[in-house]
Amino acid sequence: DADVTQTPRNRITKTGKRIMLECSQTKGHDRMYWYRQDPGLGLRLIYYSFDVKDINKGEISDGYSVSRQAQAKFSLSLESAIPNQTALYFCATRAGQGSTEAFFGQGTRLTVV
Amino acid sequence: SQKIEQNSEALNIQEGKTATLTCNYTNYSPAYLQWYRQDPGRGPVFLLLIRENEKEKRKERLKVTFDTTLKQSLFHITASQPADSATYLCALGAYGGYQKVTFGTGTKLQVIP
Q: Which tens digits make up the pLDDT trace of A13-63? A: 999 999 999 999 999 999 999 999 998 888 999 999 988 999 999 989 999
What is the percentage of chain A residues whose pLDDT exceeds 70?
96
Is the per-residue pLDDT at A4 higher than 70?
yes
Pairwise CB contact (< 8 Å): A42 & B104: yes
Read off the pLDDT band of A91 (50, 70, 90).
very high
- Which chain A residues are closer than 8 Å to B34 by Cβ? 100-102
Listed in sequence order, the residues at least 6 apart from B33 whose beta carbon sits closer than 8 Å to its beta carbon are: B23, B49, B50, B64, B66, B73, B90, B91, B92, B93
Is the per-residue pLDDT at B41 higher than 70?
yes
Is the per-residue pLDDT at B8 higher than 90?
no
Most distant CA atoms of chain B, gap in Å: 45
Listed in sequence order, the residues at least 6 apart from B8 whose beta carbon sits closer than 8 Å to its beta carbon are: A40, B105, B107
Is the per-residue pLDDT at A95 higher than 90?
no
C-alpha span between B37 and B17 (Å, rounded): 19
Q: How much is the pLDDT for B28? A: 81
Interface test mutation site (partner A, options B49, B105, B107, B108, max chain A beta carbons within 10 A): B105
| A80 to chain B, closest Cα gap in Å | 25
Interface test mutation site (partner A, options B9, B38, B92, B99, max chain A beta carbons within 10 A): B99
Beta bridge partners of B101: B93
Pairwise CB contact (< 8 Å): B34 & A56: no
Q: How much is the pLDDT for A39? A: 86
- Which chain B residues are closer than 8 Å to A31 by Cβ? 98-99
Contact B73, B33 (CB under 8 A): yes
- Considering A41-45, B27-31, B91-95, the range whose residues carry the highest mean pLDDT is A41-45
C-alpha span between A97 and B112 (Å, rounded): 41
Is the per-residue pLDDT at B100 higher than 80?
no
- Which chain A residues are closer than 8 Å to B7 by Cβ? none
What is the percentage of chain A residues whose pLDDT exceeds 90?
84
Is the per-residue pLDDT at B80 higher than 80?
yes
Q: How much is the pLDDT for B91? A: 93
Read off the pLDDT band of A82 (50, 70, 90).
very high
CA closest to B48 among chain A residues: A101
A97 vs B11: which has the higher pLDDT = B11
B93 vs A96: which has the higher pLDDT = B93
Pairwise CB contact (< 8 Å): B46 & A102: yes
CA closest to A38 among chain B residues: B105
Write the CA distances from B42 to A4, A5, A83, integer angstroms.
12, 12, 22
- Which chain B residues are closer than 8 Å to A107 by Cβ? 41-43
Burial of residue A88 (number of CB atoms within 10 Å: 0-12, 13-18, 19+): middle
**Looking at A71-75, A76-80, A81-85, B91-95, which range is the least confident one?**
B91-95
| A102 to chain B, closest Cα gap in Å | 7
